Amino acid sequence: VCIIDQRFLPHEFVVERMTSVEEVCRAISEMRVRGAGLIGAAAGYGIYLATRNAHPHRIKEDLEKAAQQLISTRPTARNLAWAVERQLDELSSCETLDECQSRSLATARCIADEDASFCQRIGEHGKKIIEEIAAKKSGKPVNILTHCNAGWLAFVDYGSATAPIYAAHAAGIPVHVWVDETRPWLQGARLTAWELSQQGVPCTLISDNTGGHLMQHGMVDLVLVGTDRTTRRGDVANKIGTYLKALAAFDNHIPFYVALPSSTFDWSITDGLHSIPIEQRGADEVLYVAGKTDRGEMERVLIAQEGTPCANYGFDVTPARLISGLITERGITPAREADILSLYPEFA
């Protein structure tokens, strides 16, 4: 199982091979692989690797341990636990280790392929929103603001929030993306800006504080973000800072859409603010910035006084009332429980 180690992008393209569930856990917790859909897909393959290393007389115990290890790596993203639970469910009727190995490999592949096809459909549905805005702009580009990285690096092949942008771009609709740098880990600066430029999509990198100003001056037509966990009434946990963009969009009457495959819904909870666990990460991510020096070397520099106390909340929750709609693989729905459940009646 190979991953792109995202810590080195955009400066270096490093591929790492993993042969055990412990390596997968480390890759997820150190954010070598990151992004809601991708950590789900990686966890699926993590369980497959656990079956390869399981003891034939302790299959159930070994797999349960692997499942716990994987789930505890990152608490906020629903896709991770969803993929692990799906694997355990599939494997519960297996009688031999051989059977477990082949079924878990097939399930891991299925999780990854499904992610790609769901995100492709999200792209088609979301494209219509961009098309409608473009129709009123007499050929001028649709300006879309995005936060963090919800692109093909964060999923399999398409991405959630970027899928409609790619679909619109491919259809010849002029688009331009404002990319929030996304402190502290800089997913926007390091990943989204690079990803969009690989696709030939015009984009401009902005510091995280810029979005509100752009919105006040009519320079943003649409905000499009992903999510790590969405409740049954449509509250959305996404990368820290998303809530502030939603507030600014609401104040400026700018549509704010969230794109997600159904694997991101947590059907067991309603109130996101009080029920979604928010990951807190180490101070070093706030205290240091990594990048490439003029000499072409990757280096990490300290940007505050050593030992400065830091808080590093990974996510915040945007309440459903600030969201114009959710773009899913089944279509676009208002962020309201009854509407969401009419798209997903099996969870009613």
In sequence order, which residues have a C-beta less than 8 Å from that of residue 82 and are 6 or more positions away?
40, 263
For residues 54 and 314, which CB has a smaller minimum distance to ligand MRU in the complex? 314
Question: What's the N-to-C CA distance of the chain in angstroms?
Answer: 37
| Closest approach of ligand MRU to the CB of residue 317, in Å | 12
8 Å CB contact between 298 and 8:
yes
Residue 193 binds to ligand MRU (criterion: CB under 6 A): no
For residues 34 and 127, which CB has a smaller minimum distance to ligand MRU in the complex? 34
Residue 318 binds to ligand MRU (criterion: CB under 6 A): no
C-alpha–C-alpha distance, residues 193 and 159, integer Å? 14
- Residue 172 phi/psi, 5-degree rounding, is 85, 10
For residues 108 and 148, which CB has a smaller minimum distance to ligand MRU in the complex? 148
3-state DSSP assignment of residue 78: helix
| Half-sphere CA count of 279, side-chain side, radius 13 A | 20
Lay out the site mask for ligand MRU across 226-265 (x = CB under 6 A, - = otherwise). xxx---------xx--------------------------
Residue 32 binds to ligand MRU (criterion: CB under 6 A): no
CA dihedral 194, 198, 203, 205 (to 10 degrees): 10
Beta-bridged to residue 301, according to DSSP, are 289
Residue nearest to ligand MRU (CB): 226
Beta-bridged to residue 291, according to DSSP, are 299
Helix then strand then coil, % of the chain, to nearest 5: 45, 20, 35
Beta-bridged to residue 17, according to DSSP, are 2
| Closest approach of ligand MRU to the CB of residue 34, in Å | 3
Structural tokens at position 24: 């997968």
Beta-bridged to residue 179, according to DSSP, are 146, 205
Residue 208 binds to ligand MRU (criterion: CB under 6 A): no
Quickly tell me which residue has 């899913």 as its tokens. Answer: 328
- CB count, 10 Å around CB of 108? 25
Helix (H) or strand (E) holding 89: helix 78-91
Q: Which stretch binds ligand MRU (CB under 6 A): 49-57, 98-106, 224-232, 301-309?
A: 224-232
Residue 73 binds to ligand MRU (criterion: CB under 6 A): no
For residues 127 and 239, which CB has a smaller minimum distance to ligand MRU in the complex? 239
| Closest approach of ligand MRU to the CB of residue 61, in Å | 30
Lay out the site mask for ligand MRU across 285-314 (x = CB under 6 A, - = otherwise). -----------------------------x
Residue 46 binds to ligand MRU (criterion: CB under 6 A): no
For residues 143 and 151, which CB has a smaller minimum distance to ligand MRU in the complex? 151
Residue 225 binds to ligand MRU (criterion: CB under 6 A): yes
| Closest approach of ligand MRU to the CB of residue 147, in Å | 6
- Residue 3 phi/psi, 5-degree rounding, is -125, 155
For residues 44 and 226, which CB has a smaller minimum distance to ligand MRU in the complex? 226
Helix (H) or strand (E) holding 164: helix 162-170
Say which of 115, 180, 228, 235 is annotated catalytic: 228
Residue 34 binds to ligand MRU (criterion: CB under 6 A): yes
Stretch 144-183 residues interacting with ligand MRU (CB under 6 A): 148-150, 154, 160
Asked if 228 is an active-site residue, the reply is yes
Q: Which stretch binds ligand MRU (CB under 6 A): 15-23, 134-142, 198-206, 219-227?
A: 219-227
Q: Which stretch binds ligand MRU (CB under 6 A): 32-40, 102-110, 129-137, 206-214?
A: 32-40
In sequence order, which residues have a C-beta less than 8 Å from that of residue 12 and are 6 or more positions away?
298
> What sign does the dihedral 232-237-238-241 (CA atoms) show?
positive
Stretch 108-147 residues interacting with ligand MRU (CB under 6 A): none
Q: Residues interacting with ligand MRU, by CB under 6 A?
A: 34-36, 148-150, 154, 160, 187, 225-228, 238-239, 314
| Active site amino acids | 228
